[in-house]
Amino acid sequence: MKKEDKIKRVEEMEKIMDKSADIFEEVNAALDKLEENFSDYKKLDDYYSSENWFQDVEDYNNGTLPQDLKCGVLSEDGAYDLFGDNHELAIRLVELAAKMLRR
């Protein structure tokens, strides 16, 4: 193999290593944020199955709460979508972790 080909290969692998290290750092930072948010997310999940949520929806619909109040949280669709996204993300994380461990 020519010296130039070896140099090219080493340079390519160096770029891959640098890119991978940057991505791993970004993913770890995102996972830290996800983990830190988990107790708040759980609180939201609990809210959706509580009497408080049903009462808040009723109050909003009856005009007891301000009509200009940002209240996407009172939408069943918004919660359903968020909880579904969480489920799909968890599956994706498990599948990716399995690939990474099997490499």
**pLDDT tens track for 65-98:** 998 999 999 998 999 999 999 999 999 999 999 9
The model carries a pTM of 0.81
Q: Is the dihedral of CA 50, 55, 61, 63 positive or negative?
A: negative
pLDDT (average), residues 43-72: 96
**Residue pair 66/97 in contact by the 8 Å Cβ criterion:** no
pLDDT above 90: residue 103? no
Taking the domains of the chain in order of start, what are their residue ranges?
A: 3-102
- pLDDT the model gives residue 1: 85
d(CA 73, CA 82): 10
Q: Which backbone phi and psi does 70 adopt, to 5 degrees? A: -65, 115
The residue with tokens 């993913």 is: 27
pLDDT (average), residues 2-9: 96
Nearest residue to 24 (alpha-carbon basis) of 100, 87, 75, 103: 100
